[in-house]
Amino acid sequence: MAKDVKKISLNVSYEEKPTEQISLIGFLFLCNGRLLQQQPVREDLLEFDLTQPDPAGTDPGKPAAGTGPGRPTAGKDLGNPEAGIDPGKSPAAGAPTNAAGTAPRPINSQDLRLFIAPATDKNIQNVQSLDELEQYKPYEPILQTNADGNFSILPIPGLLSKFWPFCSCRVTGKVSKWFSVDNTWEDRPVCKARVHICDIDAILYWIYKIPDYIIAKIPELILNPQEVIKFPIPIPDPPPFSINSFAAPSPEKKSLFRTTSVEEQQMDIAASLPELSIDIRQTLASGNLNRIRETIAANYTLFHPWLCLWPYYWPWFYRRRELAVVYTDANGRFDTLVSYWCTGDKPDIYIWVEYLINGVWTTVYEPPIPCYTFWDYACGTNINIHVTDPRVPGNCCCDCGIPGEAVWIRAVGGASTAHINQQNLLQPPPGQSVNYNRIGLTDAAAIYDPWFLPTTPGDFKRPFGGFPTFVVGFGTDMPNAGMYYYRWSYKKVANASLTAVSDSYKALLPVGGSVQKGYEFTYLDSHGVTQWAPNSVKLGPFTVGSNDNLYIIPPEYPFMAPFNAPETDPQWNEQTYRNLSITFDSTDLRDAAMAKGDGLYAFKLEVFDQAGNLLTNVPKTTFKIPDYNSSGYSVNAPDILLDSPTLTTANGYNMLMRIDNSGCEAKIYTVKVNGVSASSDCCGFVAYRPGEVDAVLDLSFKAAHPNNFAVFGFSVERGACGDVPIADANGMVIDSANGYIRNNSSIYDKPFTPSQLLESCYSAGAGKAAFAEILSVAAMATDGSYRLAGKDQGDIAAFALEP
């Protein structure tokens, strides 16, 4: 047994020599998992020198404070590819790396763990821990010493080395997302998404590393499947498929009474799974863990549908190894060559996707591995990924800069400014009769709209609320000395009931106190590989001259004046032609007395020169809005959207928007029998034939909103029979609907005969049935993209009818 080991020299050989040469690398750890050194194998010789300290002076496995391996350092020049690189991460070739960072101390050979792995993937040089090394399928020999203190190891076993050769495979595909544009659905590409391409390791390599207690549970899960695990939103789309048309899915209505037994659920689940042979079933039921392991490995593909139901077991049975990280282009495409373990079959490709949201790379697509892996992927075939995360934009565009000094006020969030009504317009909701003024409302759809809130072009029905964002495109000739800054201001025009109020324009303040415009840039990491990183610049607010709350009109690219971003290839997160000019808190809007509240507001956009002087009499053609029928095209803003317009000029852009942040109210009331609230006992039964005569049964509920900007959906279900259509209703809370009469307190009431509610259960006045009442009241307000679902209310009630 060697003590105080200084140097180790080992001959490396194979039990079965590979057909092609494989470059190898060795890792030396202490038994506590602390990395001592990594060294390449040169001419079948692996050597470690433990006498030299590590120049990094860091704790193994942890980058130096404030840095990450190969990443820019906060507070340094991010434009310099060398800035912030951990100097201890990649020492000069051949230099030993003692990760202790201190003078060597005596080392006992029995305290050492040696690993040898293929070095074909250069990312292995980043390994700092045993967990990180595991994915490279390392060989761990036992260090043996002879009487002279020389070290030796046994040859690399053929069972392991057969996994080490690498093959190349072309992986290509597209990332896209469905968007509602001009009230139609478009499948748009997602550009600048970060796509992680992974290979799922062959289970043969690590099946014997799965603990016995996990293996022992698998037969019961496969032979007696009992439940399907529901996955959280956003649910990913299935593997590649063709879509010829797309429509928003109709919501599934689930009866509160329609339940199934455990036995029925088990039968339904089992019926949807592949058939297992008698031999497999017998082996799984044998209780022999070794035979069960071998059966799982031999029928790995067959068991994917079962394992897909149980997320708890995924880490044990599915190990992914990252092959490449690529970025989608302006068409949402990605295309790269990857290396994978050549084990006699094709790679099993799994993909997950990130997107830069608010300067942070955020996972937007990471579906279950067993259900969404492209098993035995045919290299070069397209992989189509549809993301559903609502935060991912679909504004990829090639050479889409706006020429000249144009100012294109495009949208509030995702709602086109052309679809915000600017005139007094009295109309009732569809299917109802009470008129209300549509001024300042939009006809746009929103994320989280319920099924009973349909949208139709021209049906301006919903106000704005929450945190709207004004999306403005600026021309490529800006900023310049003559047009350099912009400013948003607002004033209250009318209260929530549209009674006019007196007010003057005030500065519109951004959420967070400033407007930052983010961009990405590239740099070379410590291995010479191109990476991406985020940064941002401040657009405002600034005080210039006598005017405050001014914001810089951003140039077409970050490297242009006035920002002159120094990094390599900087690109805006949101292009200047679709710039997020300001996001504001609509609950903080105030009137002349500085009181907050809902109502009709005017929002004005003005432009200033470089000296901070307000520009007036600007050519009218400067201000654009989207075409009503196609938001990808611009038109000159009409006079109704301009400030102080003349025949040829205007002082700015001015837009009316109804703001409403009020909440809903929902309440279901007790069933009435002949006009009197039923006093059912604790058993919940209501007698519908007092005195042997069928009574009049009234169902009533309250669906309310302070300013009537809400819709409701009310449904009645009878036992397992399902819906009672005659008792259902939906509409805007401003008026009666489907026979339910609304009073001034927004309480809805409708009379029924017992036979109308009981239907087939009536049995000539002798029948009985249980009922459920379900009420949902949804706020209509939107921030331009999302409906303010947090303002919703609902209620559920139940009753039973008997003679």
| Three-state secondary structure readout of 543-560 | EECCEEEEEECCCCCCCC
**What b/e sequence results for 192-216 when a residue is b if at least 16 CB atoms lie within 10 Å of its CB, and e otherwise?**
bbbbbbbbbbbbebebeebeeeebe
Provide CB contacts within 8 A for 447, sequence distance 6+: 390, 785, 786, 787
Q: Are 133 and 115 in contact (CB under 8 A)?
A: yes
Q: Are 430 and 735 in contact (CB under 8 A)?
A: no
Pairing of strands 469-474, 579-583: antiparallel
Residue 342 burial (10 A CB sphere; 0-12, 13-18, 19+) = middle
Residue that has been written with the tokens 């956009």 in this structure: 605
Task: Residue 651: count other Cβ atoms within 10 Å of its Cβ.
Answer: 18
Q: What totals of helices (H) and strands (E) does the chain contain, helices first? A: 12, 47
Give the model's pLDDT for residue 317: 81
H or E element, residue 247: none
Task: Residue 222: count other Cβ atoms within 10 Å of its Cβ.
Answer: 26
CA distance 604 to 608: 13
Give the model's pLDDT for residue 406: 95
Nearest to 656 by CA among 412, 444, 406: 412
- Both tokens of 708, joined, read 């009537």
Question: Distance from CA of residue 26 to its chain's centroid?
Answer: 40
3-state secondary structure 739-772: CEEECCCCEEEEEECHHHHHHHHCHHHCCCEEEE
End-to-end CA distance of the chain: 93
Residue that has been written with the tokens 């205007």 in this structure: 650
- Both tokens of 620, joined, read 């009218």
- Both tokens of 632, joined, read 């990808």
Percentage helix, strand, coil, to 5, in the chain?
15, 35, 50
Pairing of strands 685-687, 793-802: parallel
- Spatial strand order of the sheet with 515-524 comes to 530-540, 515-524, 568-572
Residue type, 96: P
CA distance 588 to 598: 10
Q: Are 727 and 716 in contact (CB under 8 A)?
A: yes
Q: Are 491 and 505 in contact (CB under 8 A)?
A: yes
Nearest to 563 by CA among 608, 518, 533, 607: 518
Sheet strands (E) in 466-608: 469-474, 485-495, 506-507, 515-524, 530-540, 542-544, 547-552, 568-572, 579-583, 599-608
Residue that has been written with the tokens 């970060």 in this structure: 194
Q: Are 732 and 461 in contact (CB under 8 A)?
A: yes
Give the model's pLDDT for residue 399: 58
SS3 state of residue 405 = coil
- Both tokens of 741, joined, read 């009469």
**What b/e sequence results for 100-134 when a residue is b if at least 16 CB atoms lie within 10 Å of its CB, and e otherwise?**
beeebeebebeebbbbbbbbbbeebeebbebeebb
CA distance 48 to 8: 5
H or E element, residue 364: strand 360-365
Nearest to 604 by CA among 619, 572, 582, 626: 582
**Cα dihedral angle (157, 133, 355, 202), rounded to 10 degrees?**
20
CA distance 566 to 558: 9
Sheet strands (E) in 669-709: 672-673, 676-677, 685-687, 697-704
Residue 91 burial (10 A CB sphere; 0-12, 13-18, 19+) = middle
CA distance 108 to 2: 6
Provide CB contacts within 8 A for 10, sequence distance 6+: 26, 45, 46, 47, 114, 151, 152, 153
Residue that has been written with the tokens 């949902």 in this structure: 776
Sheet strands (E) in 154-307: 166-181, 184-189, 194-200
Pairing of strands 166-181, 382-386: parallel
CA distance 553 to 314: 50
Give the model's pLDDT for residue 58: 37
DSSP string, 154-196: PPBPHHHHTT--EEEEEEEEEEEEEEEETTEEEEEE-TT-EEE
Say how many residues make up the chain: 803
pTM: 0.71
Residue 442 burial (10 A CB sphere; 0-12, 13-18, 19+) = buried
SS3 state of residue 209 = helix
Per-block average pLDDT, block size 10, for the chain (803 residues)? Answer: 77 88 92 91 92 46 35 34 33 41 64 91 86 87 86 90 82 90 79 91 74 86 61 35 32 53 52 76 86 85 77 79 88 88 78 85 88 88 90 73 92 93 95 95 92 92 96 94 97 97 97 94 83 91 97 96 94 87 96 95 98 97 94 93 97 98 96 86 82 94 97 94 94 96 96 94 90 96 94 94 92
Cα Rg of the chain, angstroms: 34
Task: Residue 400: count other Cβ atoms within 10 Å of its Cβ.
Answer: 14
